[in-house]
Chains A and B, each alone.
Chain A
Amino acid sequence: MTDNKNTPELISGQESLRVFESLNRGMSRRNALQMLGVAGVAAAGAGSLFGPAGKLFADEAAAEGKGKPGGKIRVAGMSSSTADTLDPAKGALSTDYARHYMFYNGLTRFDKHLVPQPELAERIDNTDATLWTITLRKDVTFHNGKSLTAADVVFSLSRHKDPLTGSKVMPLMEQFAEIKASGPNEVQIRLSAPNAELPSILAVSHLLIVPEGTTDFNKGIGTGPFTVGEFKPGVRSIAVRNKSYWKPGLPYLDEIEFIAIADEPSRVNALLSGDVHMINEVNPRSTTRIAASAKHRVVDAPSGNYTDLIIRQDQLPGKSPEFTQAMKLLLDREQVKSAVFRGFAVVGNDHPIAPGSRYFNSDLPQTVYDPEKAKFLLKKAGMESITMPVMASPAATGSVDIAVLLQQSAKQAGLKLDVNRLPSDGYWSNHWMKHPLSFGNINPRPNADVMFSQFFQSKAPWNESGWQNDQFDQLLMLARGETDDAKRAKMYGDMQTLVHDHCGIGVPVFISNIDGVDQRIKGYGTNPLGGFMGYMFAEQVWLDA
């Protein structure tokens, strides 16, 4: 990627990763205790998770300077259909998330290091990480003039437990044993088991707060920085500045028109021709075009998104640990990074925690490409000359290219792989996790606990490789109730070691998000959660025209 580094317009992946990593490490160790407020606070019996709300914007304001109010921008996401929704619970795609953060607020909000900060919650207290009390801000009103009360929060959270809501986070919400209003501005949540990560769960877009009793979500009534001017699923939405937004001085923009252009070259063309100000999901191949334009810049945001090789552990040949190990050794990570993602990726180590994230285990030895050793292992397992099909699909980003590279390196180890390229349509319901060798793609999750619980726990429905490990399951439970951050970090570190050594998942790289942005857009940053500043750009950016 030397050619990219020469271009001054480009924020290089390595550079922003380094900043992100150092901030994150330094921050999480020092601040996590007071941020998550679990250890000392729980012991004392009563304490506040967050300081007074006054210093709420200190971080962002100091870092980015004061914005300029006014202006209209047009933003193009990557996918849009008649299934577009303004119901936070149903949000399925980046387009939905970006819209939801325009119109709604959550109880907490991720900052750029994925540490949850207070939003509609003024303070969050807990006893033993099980009984949580959330005190709401009192000055907040919905777009229709109604004040925010505890009943709205109870409604917004409880609806996820009803299967008919069609919530995308229903499994996550099963631990919410009881959600009740303990006062007009106070909500009590009792968890079925301790979970010290609750504040970061509350920050996910699906748990944004809607008014009690909402049935028609197309109006987008929330407490967010923008109100709905127009919403046509599959066509566009127009967000109009909420004049009575509860955060003084925000948002900066008067209007955001949000459309989607599914075709990537067309999206880049629309940016370069000045028809839109911001796009996401730029193909690494297009970055040179954007970087060559004086009016635009490429924003490279390292993220936790990965495409993984799934080696089912409950059937042959994955049942053999040697075969699984050999497949991981056959992933040429550096080549995947440079050839498939043109350097816009970070090498992975066969576990789901991205370098630089909270609790990343840096002591774990990196798996390196070693066809000789793979050959030896395959021989040992008696599988040196078998032929295996591998399922790949454009639905799992880059998986077809990764599969072809894998096919080439497998040849050197005497293993013959047939790459089956399947269409995106129906891939997740019909092929994902259903073959001995296939590819999956997992979007970033808010924290390590959610990631491990959803995709690696023995009984998890999306335990991709079907691996069973009692020690891992126990550690997962222990970590949830552990209120000492240092101990939790150790546990998550051990879990990464277990996944790395034994699970049937090969994570070659973590794929960076690439946005293309007009130079006139200021205040634009990155967030490991996803492109468009973790979908939360609306409130933060301004137009310097």
Chain B
Amino acid sequence: MNSNTLWLIGRRLGAGVVTLLIVSMVVFAITAVLPGDAAQQSLGQFATPEQVAALRLKLGLDQPGVLRYLHWLMSLLTGDMGVSVSNAMPVGELMAGRVPNTLMLAGATALVSVPVALVLGIGSAMGRGGRIDSCLSFVTLAMVAVPEFLVATLAVLIFAVNLGWLSALSYASDISSPLQFLRTYALPVMTLCCVIVAQMARMTRAAVIDQLDSPYVEMARLKGVSPIRIVLRHALPNAIGPIANAIALSLSYLLGGVVIVETIFNYPGIASLMVDAVTNRDMALVQACTMLFCAAYLGLVLLADLCAILSNPRLRNQ
């Protein structure tokens, strides 16, 4: 790693902070435009105007939006993420209860899906135009097209209700043995894999094919290098950049976008926390969740770019 790389990391981190700031402003503005505020939402259908006014005063919702935003920003700078208005618990504590679950699910899914996607992608690139490639293309396209709630519901119906092999619900906290881990995570991981494997495999296939069409691969082929060696030794290292980016995009989806899977399997992750926060107009919690998603996304993309740089001697030694 040289100064160039360090400079890139530094610049990216700086840009990341600015992005986060802008995102927080946009999110705040959007939350403010939503119909109803935290007070109305918390008191519900049958609130009296008197109660709404009292609660607004208590929560500081009577202050102008800009002031509330600045107040939130100031306390964030001191490390205080605020207090959830819906249950008076610190936002940090609420997040701490959910983030490990989300990381666990994302980690397990990544562990399964990334190798599978790479093998599928490289396999179909090698047999481009052949029977295996068409087959894989058809399957991956079908997997992208089928919505995840359908996959999840069918999987539960078959494996949990009819066969009784697996649990229909996933509790991250009830795990005491590897077998239990498997029972708990099998269905949600399978569902998520269906969604992201397809995307990653197709991107891998395209990236590898791109390299296979280049003159240096043709040269190697003419020299009589075996097809496997061509792909693994010559094409793949040059395709790592785009592949890493595809993986990063898919994984960032796992960190914040899996609300349907969380709902169906009743898995207490961060995505459903965010949905609750929006429904309850719980500004501090919405902001904390968005900041986390956004930071995770930026971090993953940065990581992917680093992968691309480090895998490429021309960039690495510039």
A-side residues, CB < 8 A to B, are 76, 81-85, 90, 92, 163-164, 166-168, 170-171, 218, 232-236, 259-263, 265-266, 269-270, 272-276, 425-426, 428-430, 432, 454, 461-462
Contacts and interface: CB of A to CB of B under 8 A. Distances in A.
A177 B136 CA distance: 75
B51 A272 contact: no
Contacts of B44: 92, 168, 428
A344 B167 CA distance: 30
Interface in B165-185: 167-169
Contact of A273 (B46, B86, B161): B161
A76 B265 CA distance: 12
Contacts, number: 120
A269 B42 contact: no
Contact of B268 (A92, A171, A234): A234
Contacts of A270: 168-169, 266
User: What is the predominant secondary structure among interface residues of chain B facing chain A?
Assistant: helix
Contacts of B167: 273, 275
A275 B169 contact: yes
A115 B291 CA distance: 52
B46 A168 contact: yes
Nearest to B149: A263
A249 to B, nearest CB: 30
Interface residues of B, number: 46
Interface in B41-95: 41-46, 48-51, 53-55, 58, 84, 86-87, 89, 94
A76 B16 CA distance: 41
Given A82-B86, A273-B160, A275-B167, A429 B264 contact: no
Nearest to B267: A235
20 contacts: A82-B94, A83-B87, A84-B87, A85-B87, A90-B42, A164-B58, A166-B42, A166-B51, A168-B46, A170-B48, A232-B97, A234-B272, A261-B263, A262-B263, A266-B168, A269-B157, A269-B160, A272-B161, A273-B156, A428-B44
Given A81-B276, A164-B54, A261-B266, A429 B84 contact: no
Contacts of A269: 153, 156-157, 160-161, 168
A170 B44 CA distance: 13
Interface stretch (B208-216, B277-285, B303-311): B277-285
A237 B145 CA distance: 37
A82 B51 contact: no
Interface of B: 34-36, 40-46, 48-51, 53-55, 58, 84, 86-87, 89, 94, 97, 153, 156-157, 160-161, 164, 167-169, 263-266, 268, 272-273, 276-277, 279-280, 282, 285
Nearest to A431: B35
A163 B50 contact: yes
Contacts of B276: 81-83, 234
A163 B53 contact: yes
B219 to A, nearest CB: 56
B285 A426 contact: no
Contacts of A81: 86, 276, 279-280
A266 B266 contact: yes
A270 B282 CA distance: 30
Contacts of A83: 41-42, 86-87, 276, 280
Contacts of A461: 48-49
A60 to B, nearest CB: 31
B36 A273 contact: no
Shortest 8 CB-CB contacts between residues of A and residues of B: A163-B54, A426-B35, A83-B86, A273-B160, A81-B276, A428-B45, A273-B168, A235-B268
A265 B58 CA distance: 39
A454 B48 CA distance: 12
Nearest to B101: A235
Given A263-B263, A266-B156, A432-B45, A166 B55 contact: yes
B280 A82 contact: yes
Given A233-B86, A266-B156, 11 more contacts: A82-B87, A82-B277, A166-B43, A168-B43, A263-B263, A270-B168, A272-B161, A273-B161, A275-B160, A426-B35, A461-B48
Contacts of A234: 268, 272-273, 276
Contacts of B264: 263, 266
Nearest to A163: B54
A82 B35 contact: no
A204 to B, nearest CB: 13
A66 to B, nearest CB: 32
Nearest to B268: A235
A428 B46 CA distance: 9
A261 B49 CA distance: 32
Nearest to B91: A82
Contacts of B42: 83, 90, 166
A82 B273 CA distance: 7
Of A81, A259, A265, A276, chain B has the most CB atoms within 10 Å of the CB of A81
A273 B157 CA distance: 9
A340 to B, nearest CB: 21
B46 A235 contact: no
A164 B56 CA distance: 9
B36 A82 contact: no
